[in-house]
Structure 1
């Protein structure tokens, strides 16, 4: 509970025009109530269907069906319901409020969830670690649809972007929960790229909402601290959207197909180099066991080699195509990732979960490489 309250204090005091504390605490409380309600609903659904969030109870397929089809949607819906009174109130008058109140609802939900988990598993450092990595993830999930609600602060009705943002948050929630609670301790390695990707996306969303606010309150204190870590600052969300826009010119299909082949080749080369380095360093890849955290080093080595291929391929595609936008490299990397996911789904369904966890950051790295390699305008 203490980490959740500390994080709530950070979110609250980071806003220059601080929201009414009673309303923030009410949103936090409603988020906590939402966890009790969804917990009861999940228990009843589990007893009725025989499914569960853990693989040792329901198996891989049963756990994924229960998470994606019921648990995650109900949980994210409860957070939206907890935030709704604040969203409809007169105090919801800045775009950044979408992040503030959605984070408060998510932290209330996470506070109760972590307390229940630690109560059931009072011993074992691995459960403490699981609750710690789950806490910021809840904030990042809610920040996705909170960003969408922040964009429509004037009309106080969910815009067209809200359903897509909520669906994305739900999918990420289900995948993350499966890695944290549904599998063995070694699967926690798969949460690191997801946390990084969601944290980066949240920072971009904060910057975009701050830019949409009044000039007198455009940035929060926390956002200024984060931005000061960069010399020239990362590109804004609007700049990235503009780079992904074709500006009236047709999509070049040949560069998408060629780029996908280049990306697949770079992925193969990255894995091969990782295996070669592992062989040179006497790394035993056969010792990998998701139930033993100490055996995840070989997976991290393979993942590093695989991820390193994406910025290189994105850079090469952008340089070779000499196109001013990021759309072709982005679509090429997305096509390559989709092809790899289909092959993994057919050959090794268990590995598909971890591949999905690494996919967002792999795509972002490819776009970053293309951003560096694209011609100057």
Structure 2
């Protein structure tokens, strides 16, 4: 009975770890009002994003020394910049693909890559936690959606540049907002205080509301 309980617990933890990312990918995919992307490419972008967790984790070993510059600088430059740049490396091949011919396509691929990254990262956090169900719960409502929103803005801006005829991508415009918001979110949680958590929640809510207007603009592909 004890073994069965342990197996059921592991299965449940796995489900609650991957469900938020998959649910959000499904939601963003079905918001495509124009021409839905090939499902196989969306799946590949999700898996590709997940794989980039490993080089990000390796690079963060070296950027951990930035903590001497202060927690805010470290969270923005040592964590957020690393992770968002890794997501961009995973995303670029899908933005460059001929199938990405609408601004909302960039959102589909951007969120899929980011949520693939977030889902694998989520598994590591949840299974490594002392209270895994608590961690799975707050990450489902905060961290995973935050990653998806960063991918949304990144993908939209990259697709907008591509369809606007840009010869080369402006990485500053693609990465600035995702890195800043991701870094601030991490910093607020780092404060380990009630006000810090409230600020992190408020940041996600504001970012989510802002994303709704970006989605609407993407349907008409305004550049």
How many residues matched? 202
- Kept in 2, the 8 Å contact 1:103–1:139? The answer is yes
In the other structure, the counterpart of 2:31 is 14
CA deviation map 1:37-76 (0-9, x unaligned): 1112213443xx383xxxxxx7xx6322322222111110
Matches within 5 A, 1:1-377: 1-16=18-33, 17-46=35-64, 49=65, 51=67, 62-123=70-131, 126-132=134-140, 133-154=142-163, 155=165, 157-158=167-168, 160=170, 163-180=172-189, 182-184=190-192, 186=194, 187-212=196-221
Unaligned runs of 5+ in 2: 1-17
Superposed CA RMSD: 2.3
Query: In 1, Cα distance between the equivalents of 2:197 and 2:166?
Result: 38
Instruction: Return the offset for 1:185.
Output: 5.5
Unaligned runs of 5+ in 1: 52-57, 214-237, 239-377
Q: TM-score, normalised by structure 2?
A: 0.81
- Kept in 1, the 8 Å contact 2:60–2:79? The answer is yes
SS in 2 for 1:65: helix
- Structure number, greater radius of gyration: 1
- Kept in 2, the 8 Å contact 1:19–1:91? The answer is yes
Query: In 1, Cα distance between the equivalents of 2:102 and 2:172?
Result: 21
- Kept in 2, the 8 Å contact 1:94–1:153? The answer is no
In the other structure, the counterpart of 1:337 is none
Query: In 2, Cα distance between the equivalents of 1:69 and 1:43?
Result: 13
SS in 2 for 1:172: helix
Structure of higher RCO (CA pairs closer than 8 Å, 6+ residues apart): 2
- Kept in 2, the 8 Å contact 1:87–1:156? The answer is no
SS in 1 for 2:176: helix
CA deviation map 1:68-92 (0-9, x unaligned): 2221111101111111111111101
Q: TM-score, normalised by structure 1?
A: 0.50
- Kept in 2, the 8 Å contact 1:150–1:209? The answer is no
